Amino acid sequence: MKPDGSKYLKIGQLASLVEMSPRTIRYYEEIGLLNSVKRIEGGKRVYTEKDLHRLKFIKRLKHLGITLSDMTELEGIYQVDRTNRKVLPRLLELMQGHVLKIDERINNLVRLKSDILSYQENIRKKISG
């Protein structure tokens, strides 16, 4: 329930609460990540507390590096069993893969930093004579 006592949120209200654009919310709907959306008279979309929590979860997964494609895969797994029993192990795999990619990027940046420092030192030697 909203603070004003009504049961549903309009897309603009929801967008403001989750700091996303209405277009992004509609896109998540189109690709199947937000599939509990209700419609009222005239076909207007309205959103519930469940949708709010779902979008916050999607936003959190994005922050953790999970792609929309991965989220769609997880949603597909969930739709088969209607339980997180198989979803959570797959989410852990995806997160572990992301951790490995981050480690690789960190290692590449450390090597780049070393190369830059070495090159700077060579330049300093040439300048000083």
Range in 4-8, 40-44, 65-69 the model is least confident about: 4-8
Range in 4-8, 70-74, 85-89, 102-106 the model is least confident about: 4-8
Provide the domain count of the chain: 2
Judge if 40 and 93 occupy the same domain. Answer: no
The CATH number that applies at residue 48 is 1.10.1660.10
Please, which residues bridge with residue 45 across strands? 39
Predicted local confidence at residue 43, as pLDDT: 78
pLDDT tens by residue, 87-121: 999 999 999 999 999 999 999 999 999 999 999 99
Query: Domain limits at 87?
Result: 65-129
- Residue 3 pLDDT more than 80? no
pTM, full prediction: 0.75
Judge if 88 and 56 occupy the same domain. Answer: no
Predicted local confidence at residue 1, as pLDDT: 47
Per the CB < 8 A criterion, the answer to whether 1 and 49 are in contact is: yes
Tell me the two tokens of residue 87: 């979803």
Chain centroid to Cα 86, Å, comes to 20
DSSP 67-129: -HHHHHHHHHHHHHHSSSTTHHHHHHHHHHHHHHHHHHHHHHHHHHHHHHHHHHHHHHHHHH-
Judge if 86 and 33 occupy the same domain. Answer: no
- Residue 40 pLDDT more than 90? no
